[in-house]
Amino acid sequence: MVTGGGSGIGRATCRRMAEEGATVAVLDRDADRAHDVAGELGGPALVADVGDPEGLRAAVDEAAEALGGITILFNNAGTGNESALHEWDPAEWDRLVRINLTGVYLGFRAAVPHIKAAGGGSIVSTASISGTRPAAGEAPYAAAKAGVAAVTATAALEYGPDIRVNAVSPGMILTALTEPLLRFLPQERERYERTTPLGRIGEPEDVADVVVFLCSDLARFITGQNIVVDG
């Protein structure tokens, strides 16, 4: 099951998982996107906000019933915004933390019983390079993503040996969220390309490949890690 599976890194990961033979439940708050990706891949589409505890739990229960169980969860749904620290509206601060951090906890809350019932599996969550190297203007996002890494480390201790728990921390990746910035501020794209050792902006598939690896038996002795994918 992939949250935020209708676009960007989530969509790319759904596709890679399907290529490896998985039946993927695609969850997104945008119904059209969820159904588009699920229709392409042949799995169930689910519509929920990861910040809604009961809505997410109901969606995960529905996915488990449709799939005959859940062995993998990719906690990927997220959102961002920017403001000077003292100018954040408290409601917007709470929204960013709810989606980016609390949504991960709620994913565990909903999915872990199903993964345990299936005999174990793997959970990967999307953190961010911003959690360790934040930029000005993104305090709630950076704090939430640092929290995802901490939750990952804690969960790995709690759920081993049957469930492996890891995170990925993408750098600048070309998605619907970042494309407008890079298009309207070409100097930013040039700066990222110039300062990245591999000389390019990341693609969603670059992160998807790492997520699929972490969910596979190739990563059978890896847990509690936050893998940076930033070129």
pLDDT tens digits in sequence order for the chain, 231 residues long: 999 999 999 999 999 999 999 999 999 999 999 999 999 999 999 999 999 999 999 999 999 999 999 999 999 999 999 899 999 999 999 999 999 999 999 999 999 999 999 999 999 999 999 999 998 999 999 999 999 999 999 999 999 999 999 999 999 999 887 887 788 778 888 888 999 999 999 999 999 999 999 999 999 999 999 999 999
Residue 110: inside a domain, yes or no?
yes
Residue 39: inside a domain, yes or no?
yes
Q: Are 6 and 23 in contact (CB under 8 A)?
A: no
Report the number of distinct structural domains present in the chain: 1
| pLDDT at residue 185, rounded to an integer | 78
Residue 134 to residue 151: CA distance in whole angstroms: 18
Q: Are 10 and 74 in contact (CB under 8 A)?
A: yes
Range of the domain at 138: 2-174+203-229
pTM: 0.95
Catalytically active residues, by annotation: 141
Residue 180 to residue 174: CA distance in whole angstroms: 10
CATH number for the domain spanning 62: value is 3.40.50.720
Q: Are 214 and 168 in contact (CB under 8 A)?
A: yes
| pLDDT at residue 184, rounded to an integer | 77
Residue 105: inside a domain, yes or no?
yes
